[in-house]
Homo-oligomer: A and B are copies of this chain.
Amino acid sequence: MDWKIALDTVWVLVAAMLVFFMNLGFALVESGFARAKNTVNIISKNFVVFAVATLAFLIVGWGLMYGDGNGFMGLKGLFFIGGADNSPAVGEAYSGVYSALNWTGVPLLAKFFFQLVFAGTAATIVSGAVAERIKYVSFIVFSAILVAFIYPIVGHWIWGGGWLAQLGFWDFAGSTVVHSVGAWAALAGVLVLGPRIGKYGKDGSVRAIPGHNMTSAMTGCLILWFGWFGFNPGSTMAADPEAISRIIVTTNVAAAAGALAATAIAWWLLGKPDIGMTINGALAGLVGITASCAFVSVESSLIIGAIAGAMVVYGVLALDKFKLDDPVGAIAVHGMGGIFGTLAVGLFAQDKFMPGTTGDGLLFGGGAGLLMNQLIGIAAVGAAVFAASLAIWYAIKLTIGVRVSEEEEMEGLDIGEHGNRAYPDFVMTETIA
């Protein structure tokens, strides 16, 4: 047996487990930032969405994303990972229908599992933005379609050897593929759903609706940070010692810089270091470094993280100006962070870190070509995902409906959707409508 295949497989699977664990991180951040009366619903959504993603990606998503096909989508080996494949053979030696991943020398099911947990992440991002008013069944239906069709087709363009990959668009671990996709789908959902009752006054006022459990939110954020050590370094899909060591440091430094930048800006803007901003700053730093983590220096990662962290504070405040009600800040974190992170490749990349991939970015003498490619990718993915998601959300609205009744929203979705209460032994305040 070959040591490299065995070690790479262990590395990829451990990384994938960490990314799986991010489901808990999302569940706790999102439920912590929402009201107690909707907790069962939110954590159920976050939980069941990974189960749905597992089946959707197994049955059809994987093949659409990684099956050999054209620049737009996979066409071979579509169902149940059913195509020919001689993994872990690599490069020339590879023979099968999933050629886009023939650069990594691990068994087919290791490739599948690693890609599955990424697909699940995209779906989970949507969950927070649409929280506190969406019907449970409608979220499940949308998630299934997102993971079965939208995510894999767009992903095919970039990671499946499609037209953006051929153009020279780079997204190492998914600032665009995963995070922006989730955010665009979320934005469409927020538009179709409308804001929560009481969020925006007729006089233009914005009412703060505090989350019910900061212990949950902080726990979730640290779990996400932890899980990102699988997300980014694991995207090497090989235990390359120099690369994974560099990526874990750039990832961590960006998270730290994002947390500190957001804390400082919030302190300055709002007068106090709001915990929600600290949390979203760290997450924005993580999203921001995701595309470029393998291509940039540690010093650059500090700058990228700090910018992403600062941006998210303004982003959260700006979305409220447009009455886009995102209870957890998911669109700011994953959307703005994802776009900026994708651009950061074009600005900060240095050829020396992964020779023969990105080349140098604008700030390192490489010209604007890479940055232009990144912009094209951002726009194309954004337009496609937003349009497709909007169509699907509308179709759901017109058929099974998308929003719970006003009464149910006031009482909380836990009773209405699940017949459960999250904390029945505790006396609750009358939570804000």
Query: A375 at interface (Cβ–Cβ under 8 A)?
Result: no
Q: Mark A1-13, 1 if CB is under 8 A from B, else 0.
A: 1011111111101
Query: A249 at interface (Cβ–Cβ under 8 A)?
Result: yes
Q: How far is the CB of A28 from chain B (nearest CB, A)?
A: 7
**Given known contacts A55-B256, A426-B428, A427-B428, A419 and B272 CB-to-CB distance under 8 angstroms:** yes
**Bound CA–CA A14/B14 (angstroms):** 9
Query: A239 at interface (Cβ–Cβ under 8 A)?
Result: yes
Number of copies: 3
A-side interface size class:
35 or more
**A323 CB contacts on chain B under 8 angstroms:** none
Query: A226 at interface (Cβ–Cβ under 8 A)?
Result: yes
Q: Chain A interface mostly helix, strand, loop or mixed?
A: helix
Other A-B contacts than A44-B278, A273-B418, A274-B418, 20 sampled, CB-CB below 8 A, are: A6-B241, A20-B226, A21-B226, A35-B425, A39-B214, A40-B275, A43-B214, A44-B273, A47-B279, A48-B259, A54-B252, A55-B253, A58-B302, A109-B246, A136-B273, A212-B424, A213-B215, A271-B419, A272-B417, A426-B428
Interface residues of A, Cβ cutoff 8 Å to B: 1, 3-11, 13-14, 16-18, 20-21, 23-24, 27-28, 31, 35-37, 39-40, 43-44, 47-48, 50-52, 54-55, 58, 80-81, 88, 106-110, 112-113, 116, 136, 210-216, 218-219, 221-223, 225-226, 229, 233, 239-242, 244-246, 248-249, 252-253, 255-257, 259-260, 263, 270-276, 278-279, 282, 298-299, 302, 417-429, 431
